Structure 1
Amino acid sequence: MAAAHDAFRDATRQLADAAQRASRVALETAEGVFGVQLKAFGSDLAQTTGYLGELARSPGPDGIRQLLPKGTQLLNDSLERWADAHQQVMDLGLRSRKAWQAAVQAGTTHNTAGAAGNSH
């Protein structure tokens, strides 16, 4: 009876440890994704507001026409930043998946070894 209690206690502890590892991986991934997106958004916001300020101060239609190439470049830079941010988010997702797989494999290996040790 004590052996069954010990096995149950060990299995419960393993499950709690696995849940804690999974929560940590999920939180780290969410923090990383949020940070990447916030950085891209902040850069876009700063550059866009600066450009809009220049447009507001431009002297008439000729000034606006002169600023259009800069606006096009800002748009291209923004698209590149968001593409880079998307790639970083995908990398974070892949690393997260690998960490989850490692946790599952470690838990499976540990459970298998524990079951083999308790079988006699």
Structure 2
Amino acid sequence: MRTLTIHLGSYQGHMGLSLRGDCATAADANHLDKALNQLLDSHPTQVWVDCQQLHSLTWLGQRALLKADTRLRAAGTTLHWCGLATSMLAQLAASGLNSMLNLLPADGFRGPRFLLPTLASDAPAQLAW
């Protein structure tokens, strides 16, 4: 199991998070909740969540996503969940959560670009000796 790591940031009014690892335990759900509380302090209208490196999502993780989405929506903030793996999209469809969350493909992410994972083709060339 990979530890849930959350990177958050803002740039020119765009707020975002990047979720990496597993969202599988109550501790992971609490970690996500605390990160979103930090974002709420700035009263954003939109938050972009990069999920490309989110590896697994248990029912606890699904509940955390729904709780976060519901809480931020009540505060006037729209969450955009971007780049979830096909297997996780199928899990969300099976539970009915797909119709409750704003799910977008990875290229729909409009948050701070520095939060996105670096692709090998984007990385600076390295010399091998």
Larger proportion of strand: 2
Larger proportion of helix: 1
Query: TM-score when scaled to structure 1?
Result: 0.24
Query: TM-score when scaled to structure 2?
Result: 0.23
